[in-house]
Structures are given as C-alpha cells and as structure tokens.
Chains A and B, each alone.
Chain A
Amino acid sequence: MSGDVILKVSNLAKHFPVTRGAIFRREVGRLRAVDGVSFEIREGETLGLVGESGCGKSTLAKCVVRLLEPTSGSIIFQGQDISKLKGRALREMRRNLMMIFQDPISSLDPRMRVNQIISEPLDIYNYGTAAVKRARVHELLELVGLRSEHFNRFPHEFSGGQRQRIGIARALALDPKMIVCDEPVSALDVSVQAQVLNLLADLQAEFGLTYLFIAHDLDVVRRVSTNVQVMYLGDVVERGTRDELYDSPRHPYSAALLSARPEADPRAARTKTRILLEGDVPSPLDPPSACRFRTRCPRAQELCSQVTPELSGSPETVALGEGHEWACHFPVAQWPLATPEDIRLANSSKLGR
C-alpha cells in the first residue's frame, strides 16, 4: 500500500539567533524554533503535523522546502540530501517539492493574471512552447475545478476557496512528487474548507502525491492524514498512525489537545471530560529543561525536569510495526477519559509507564 520513503528528515534544527546592537551584533539568545526533529514520509502518504502557534511546525515546513536553511540536520528527499543544496541543484529539486500556503490572498501576486500565476513555474523550468504551456494551464484549471474563462482574471476577482485552488494549480503545474501544505484551509470557511479538502484528497488519489500537511485543526488533520505527528515547542512529542494517535493518545499534551478540541455534538460535549492545561506555552528562547511540556503537564514529576524523554513506543506496537511513539516518562494509560475517575487516574502522577 505505502511506497518507499520519499522524505527522511534527521535531527533537523532551525535556530534563529537573537541579536543586539546595531554595529557590533552579538548574539544574546537563540530562538529554537525547531530543535532536533526526525521523521520520514512514504510515497503516497500524508503526514499530518499538528501543534499550537509557536510550536515550530511552519518553520519545519519552510526548512523542508528549503525556503529556510536549516541550522543542522539532514533532509533526504528522493535519496538526495537537500539540506545544503544551492542554486541550480536547489531549483531542480524544487520541481518535485512544492508548497501551498495558508493565506490565499497574500500568496498570489495581485498584479498577475491567473494564467501568469499558474504558468510561472512552467516558465521557470522551460516547460515547453507557449502553446504547450497554455494547454497545460487550461488542464490545471480544470483539474482544480476552475473554469477556462477564469484564465485571464486577476486574483481579487475570486473567493477565498477559488484562490486556494489557484495556489494548488500553481503547485501542481510541474507534476511534483510531494506537496507541503502549510495550513491550506485555515483561512477558509467551513463549507469551502470541505471543497478544498476533497480536492486535495482527489489529487492525491489521482497522482499518487505525498503530502506534508500542517494544520492546527485536529479534525482537519484527522481527515487527511495517514500518520500524525504532534509538536510542542520545537520538538515532536508523539507520532503514530492516525487511528492510533486519535484513538489512544499517550503523550499528555496530545491527550490535552484532543480533549480540548470542541466537539460538534452537543450531547457528547455535555458529558465530555476535558484536560485543561494551565498557563501558556513557555518562550522558545528559554525552554524548560528536559521535558519541555513539564511546566504545564498535569502528570509531571521530578524525573521530567532531569531526564529528557526520548521518542519511543510500547513493545507491542513496535512489534506490530505500527510505529506509535511518544516522548513521555508517564504516558496516559487510558483513553477516552470517560469518567471523573479516569481523569483522576490520568492526571495522577503515580501512574508509571
């Protein structure tokens, strides 16, 4: 079912130096946006990446498509390390690795017509004669559900959903192998969001695309993903197949995220038990020692401030090859938390691994 590994990221880190002084710049701190992340994606799969603002998911995406240069680590895409590529080689690599952005308004040049926007990648990579490119643009418009008469219009004449379709057509122009989608539906209304999600699913089925799909909306990620990875403060705290992760989250942060997500079912919502986290996400300039989540974790103990938990799975799942891993000393044992007793147990710090 799933193919070969198409993207393998190892120990990827992106630090932004914080500097002072206009003439003599000195580094006074480091914003560790992404701090040592490893994962892989197989061909034809979708890896969902969830986390709250500031967890580093967008920085990670930009590193993967090399809009940012990673501080360290490697990114193997189709067998080639692209983390240090420059110039021509970088451009060649990019034909196969495209990106769709969050804001369909600002990511399209308002002075370019739709055909110019979509054929720009074709121009850059010398796709063919003008007639060939023209035909390709029409083909792409049809593919994303726009009409041929949209060919000569400007972006402002379209609704948010249609603009996102234009962005998708542009990303598809060169038949990429993989698309990084950075919050592609967050700015859209729910009915339009459904259209775009369906479109992305159709395109994946038709062309065998691989997606790295970033979103803060857990339901959207559940909809599209094969595997899901949860990030907190620049680090992956849990990952697994979609169903494993949504049906039995083990990291307390994933559990809190899932329980905090509002449920579109009033009866379920009334009986649901929620794990409410206290306070805010700490600053990535000065993250807590060892486990980064411990300052807000209801299950944290002494150990959590001393030993950094590594991503690892329970013996059974590893044996099954399911690849459900979490980075926690005291993972959640039972899910869902149905009764107050469950909550007490879940929040009790006495439960060990």
Chain B
Amino acid sequence: MALLEVKDLQTTFFTDDGAVRAVDGVSFSVEAGQVVGIVGESGCGKSVTMLSIMRLLSARHSATTGMASFDGEDLLSIPNKKMREIRGKQISKIFQDPMTSLNPVYRIGVQIVEALRLHDKAISRVAAFDRAEQMLAAVGIPSPRERLRSYPHELSGGMRQRVMIAMALINDPKVLIADEPTTALDVTTQAQILELIRKLRNEFSSAVVFITHDLGVVAELCDEVVVMYAGKVVESAPVDEIFENPQHPYTWGLLGSLPGRNLGNDRLYSVPGSPPSLLDPPTGCRFMARCAHAMSICETEPPLEILDHSEHAVACHLDPGFRTTQAIAFRSIANRVQEPR
C-alpha cells in the first residue's frame, strides 16, 4: 500500500470575487523511498495541493474535501491535535524562500531544537542541541556548533536552505515535502542542494514530494512525475516515460518550450495564450483553449480524471494512437538535439 495516497482532493478558496477551486479532483500516491515530482506552472495548484494535505491553509478562507490517507489515516479528517503530531514528525516540509522561512529573531539552533522538542518532550536541552548539531553536519554546514548560535540573516541563501532541510529531517519523517526549494537559489547552489536531497533520500529513506516548475530539476531527481494544469492532474507517469513518451498536449508544450532541450529547432514550441481563470473554469477540458489538437468533445466533456497511478496515465480525449505518434515525433526532435552538431 502507498505511504501517502491522495484521492479526489478539492480545495476551494473563498475570495471577494467568488469561490476559486484551486485544486479540483487531484489524485496521486507516493510510495516509501520514492521521489514524486509535482510539476506545473504558477497557479496550477501544485503548492496548494500539498498545503491542503498538511492542513496548513486557513480554514476560514478555504475548504478542502477528498481524502489524503497517510499510514492508514485520513489526514483531512483526523483531529487538529493528531494532525499537529504528524506535522514535522511524520510529514515535514521545506519551503521555496529560505530568506523568509526562518524566524528572524531566533537563533537557528533554537528553531531546529524547537522542531525536535515539539515531538519529543522527554529529550533534554543538551541532547536536543547535540542532535541539532549532528543534523547540521549531515546537511553539510561547516562548523555546526558555532552555526547553531547564528541568526538566519547571518547565513547565505544556500546555507539557510540547508538549515531548513536539517530542521525538516531532524525527526526522521516518512514524507518530506519540498516546495520549490531551489527556485530562489543560484544554479551552483541549486546543484549542491539537489545533491544533498539525493544523498539524504538514500540515507534516510524518506519519500519525497518535490514541487517544482523546473522540468530539468524533475529529470535530475524524481522517480515519478505528476503534471498539473489549472487545478487538475493532466498526466502522471514514471520520469523516463514523461520525458520520452509524453502523452498530454500540455506536457508536449512544456517540453517543447524548454530552451535547453530544443536546440535543433529554430523556434521554441510555445503554448499560445495563458491558463484559464479558476473563478469560472471551462466546462470541458481546461487545456482546450490552448490546445493545438482540440476537438469538439473537448469543449463539452471534461476528460476522465486520473485515479490510478500505477501506470502511465493521461487525462485527454485524443486517440491513444494519435498521441503515441505525436510522442514518437517528439522524441525524434529531442534525439536530434542529443546528436553533436
């Protein structure tokens, strides 16, 4: 059985303009030891999905329905107290911006130890600080003892993200949710952090849910990929399948517009237009307005939602045969790039 299984998750925000369904029927699962990438562009609901599962959204401004079973329990229906015991202990999270995610007025040692002592009341102060020191060393922070006494503003962005990772991993969680953890960092620092996550995943055998808009990072790190568009999952597959046999027109668009992947082409493929407003989403397929292959059925009927993630799954009305020929054509473009010019 999957470690984390999300079924038909729906999250609605109540705004002044009306209800916005930011996540609309998302299902996926995460196995122990796996890295699952959730990919999509800004506003597609990828971050909201994970915030909903951890119940970190304000209950007064949003509502979540569906199911998110973790270790046999539905995270969405357990009492608050129980949820708090899971947060930071079983499921922990690192955020995009390491500059603002640490409290500026507390030393980082205090903040790391807090994560530990919230879940282990018995541990002594001294033992907790020792543990924090070990953890800082494990994420590659030089002279960890001294760093415990630093304030966040005294560290660089990369160092702060390491601190966030140390804090997230200190309770040995079963699931680590990483929400664009490298987006705010430079490419060489990003490489350091990705290497660290790879290493830690092997050492700690946690499952990782990696939220990103960067397909390069996905290819580097993930085992499974979930592609989201306008609040829905449009395709999900093992990472090689997504890159070599993409089945959804939106995935084609994403891959086609990568400047590093399509050097053989004079022009980048670009998806025309922009995503639909979720205040008033289209009735049929949400990608229809931007899709080069749209048919009349796409306007009226939403494609079947993806529920089973054991195989390569896609939510699209197109004929599977046609999709496969497209994917093959796509692969040949990609291959052309690989050949030396």
A and B in contact, CB less than 8 Å: yes
Q: Chain A interface (Cβ within 8 Å of chain B)?
A: 52-53, 159, 161-162, 189-195, 197-198, 201, 216-220, 222-223, 243, 256-257, 259-269, 274, 276-277, 280-281
**Do residues A191 and B254 form an inter-chain contact, with CB atoms below 8 A?**
yes
In the bound complex, CA of A269 to CA of B221 (Å): 9
CB 8 Å contact bits of B208-229 with A (1 = contact, 0 = none): 0000011111111010000000
The answer to whether the Cβ of B70 comes within 8 Å of any Cβ in the partner chain is no
Our pick among A190, A201, A243, A274 for the contact of B213 (Cβ within 8 Å) is A190
Interface size bracket, B side? 35 or more
B241 to chain A: closest CB distance in Å?
A: 9
**Do residues A264 and B261 form an inter-chain contact, with CB atoms below 8 A?**
yes
- Provide a sorted-by-A list of 29 A–B residue pairs whose CB atoms are within 8 angstroms: A161-B274, A190-B257, A191-B253, A191-B254, A192-B41, A192-B274, A194-B256, A194-B259, A195-B270, A198-B267, A218-B187, A218-B260, A219-B258, A219-B259, A219-B260, A219-B261, A220-B259, A223-B260, A223-B268, A260-B188, A262-B220, A264-B219, A265-B219, A265-B261, A266-B219, A266-B240, A274-B191, A276-B192, A280-B159
**Do residues A263 and B219 form an inter-chain contact, with CB atoms below 8 A?**
yes
In the bound complex, CA of A195 to CA of B272 (Å): 8
In the bound complex, CA of A218 to CA of B256 (Å): 17
**Do residues A191 and B271 form an inter-chain contact, with CB atoms below 8 A?**
yes
In the bound complex, CA of A2 to CA of B258 (Å): 27
- In the assembled complex, which residues on chain A have CB atoms less than 8 Å from the CB atom of B259? 193-194, 197, 217, 219-220, 222-223
**Do residues B220 and A190 form an inter-chain contact, with CB atoms below 8 A?**
no
In the bound complex, CA of A262 to CA of B214 (Å): 9
**Do residues B158 and A280 form an inter-chain contact, with CB atoms below 8 A?**
yes
A160 to chain B: closest CB distance in Å?
A: 8
In the bound complex, CA of A195 to CA of B191 (Å): 27
A262/B269 contact (C-beta < 8 A), A219-B258, A274-B191 known: no
- In the assembled complex, which residues on chain A have CB atoms less than 8 Å from the CB atom of B213? 189-190
* Nearest B residue to A267, CB-CB: B240
B198 to chain A: closest CB distance in Å?
A: 11
**Do residues B156 and A198 form an inter-chain contact, with CB atoms below 8 A?**
no
**Do residues B267 and A276 form an inter-chain contact, with CB atoms below 8 A?**
no
Query: Could you tell me the dominant secondary structure of chain B's interface residues?
Result: helix
* Nearest A residue to B240, CB-CB: A266
- In the assembled complex, which residues on chain B have CB atoms less than 8 Å from the CB atom of A219? 216, 258-261
- In the assembled complex, which residues on chain B have CB atoms less than 8 Å from the CB atom of A195? 270-272
CB 8 Å contact bits of B173-192 with A (1 = contact, 0 = none): 00000000000001111111
A230 to chain B: closest CB distance in Å?
A: 12
- In the assembled complex, which residues on chain B have CB atoms less than 8 Å from the CB atom of A263? 216, 219-220, 260
The answer to whether the Cβ of B73 comes within 8 Å of any Cβ in the partner chain is no
A276/B195 contact (C-beta < 8 A), A191-B253, A194-B259, A264-B215 known: yes
Q: Which 5 A-B pairs have the closest CB atoms?
A: A219-B260, A262-B216, A194-B257, A260-B191, A194-B270
- In the assembled complex, which residues on chain B have CB atoms less than 8 Å from the CB atom of A276? 188, 191-192, 195
Query: Could you tell me the dominant secondary structure of chain A's interface residues?
Result: helix
The answer to whether the Cβ of B234 comes within 8 Å of any Cβ in the partner chain is no
* Nearest A residue to B267, CB-CB: A198
* Nearest A residue to B256, CB-CB: A194
**Do residues B257 and A191 form an inter-chain contact, with CB atoms below 8 A?**
yes
The answer to whether the Cβ of B200 comes within 8 Å of any Cβ in the partner chain is no
Inter-chain pairs besides A198-B267, A262-B194, 20 sampled, C-beta below 8 Å: A194-B270, A195-B271, A195-B272, A197-B259, A197-B268, A218-B187, A219-B216, A220-B259, A223-B259, A223-B263, A257-B187, A260-B187, A261-B187, A262-B216, A262-B219, A264-B258, A268-B219, A274-B191, A274-B195, A276-B192
The answer to whether the Cβ of B163 comes within 8 Å of any Cβ in the partner chain is no
Our pick among B214, B217, B268 for the contact of A198 (Cβ within 8 Å) is B268
In the bound complex, CA of A197 to CA of B334 (Å): 19
**Do residues B258 and A159 form an inter-chain contact, with CB atoms below 8 A?**
no
Most-contacted residue by chain B among A191, A198, A218 (CB, 10 A)? A191
The answer to whether the Cβ of B100 comes within 8 Å of any Cβ in the partner chain is no
- In the assembled complex, which residues on chain A have CB atoms less than 8 Å from the CB atom of B260? 218-219, 222-223, 261, 263-264
- In the assembled complex, which residues on chain A have CB atoms less than 8 Å from the CB atom of B258? 190, 219, 264
The answer to whether the Cβ of B42 comes within 8 Å of any Cβ in the partner chain is yes
**Do residues A262 and B190 form an inter-chain contact, with CB atoms below 8 A?**
yes
**Do residues A159 and B263 form an inter-chain contact, with CB atoms below 8 A?**
no
A336 to chain B: closest CB distance in Å?
A: 11
The answer to whether the Cβ of B28 comes within 8 Å of any Cβ in the partner chain is no
**Do residues A222 and B215 form an inter-chain contact, with CB atoms below 8 A?**
no
* Nearest B residue to A187, CB-CB: B42
**Do residues B243 and A264 form an inter-chain contact, with CB atoms below 8 A?**
yes
The answer to whether the Cβ of B239 comes within 8 Å of any Cβ in the partner chain is yes
In the bound complex, CA of A256 to CA of B192 (Å): 11
The answer to whether the Cβ of B255 comes within 8 Å of any Cβ in the partner chain is yes
Most-contacted residue by chain B among A189, A256, A257, A261 (CB, 10 A)? A189
**Do residues B274 and A159 form an inter-chain contact, with CB atoms below 8 A?**
yes
B286 to chain A: closest CB distance in Å?
A: 14
- In the assembled complex, which residues on chain B have CB atoms less than 8 Å from the CB atom of A281? 186
A262/B217 contact (C-beta < 8 A), A191-B253, A192-B274, A276-B192 known: yes
* Nearest A residue to B266, CB-CB: A201
- In the assembled complex, which residues on chain B have CB atoms less than 8 Å from the CB atom of A274? 191, 195
- In the assembled complex, which residues on chain B have CB atoms less than 8 Å from the CB atom of A256? 188
**Do residues B270 and A191 form an inter-chain contact, with CB atoms below 8 A?**
yes
**Do residues A257 and B188 form an inter-chain contact, with CB atoms below 8 A?**
yes
- In the assembled complex, which residues on chain B have CB atoms less than 8 Å from the CB atom of A201? 267
Most-contacted residue by chain B among A159, A190, A261, A280 (CB, 10 A)? A190
